[in-house]
Amino acid sequence: MKVKVLSIYDPSYRRYSTPPPAEQVESMLQEWLNDNPNAKIEHVVQTPLADSYGQTWSLLTTIFYRD
């Protein structure tokens, strides 16, 4: 089994203390899938990351897969 971790973060959105927009998350995931067309995904975990004020500004997406 292999693991790929994507850190999805848009610095322009940090100043508004909002999570990355859905389009950015989708784009990064689609790019990875296009680069790995034979990946057999077994499990995906998404972990929001918050700053010291509890505001989410980044997302870790962990993909567990086999070639």
Domain assignments of the chain as residue spans, ordered by start: 2-66
> 13-47 in b/e burial notation, b at 16+ Cβ within 10 A?
eeeeeebbeeeebeebbeeeeeeeeeeeeeeeeee
For residue 16, name the pLDDT band (cuts at 50, 70, 90): low
> pTM for the full model?
0.77
Q: Cβ distance 32 to 63 under 8 Å?
A: yes
Q: Where are the alpha helices (DSSP H) in the chain?
A: 11-14, 22-35
Given a cut of 70, whether residue 10 has pLDDT beyond it is: no
Average pLDDT over residues 8-17: 62
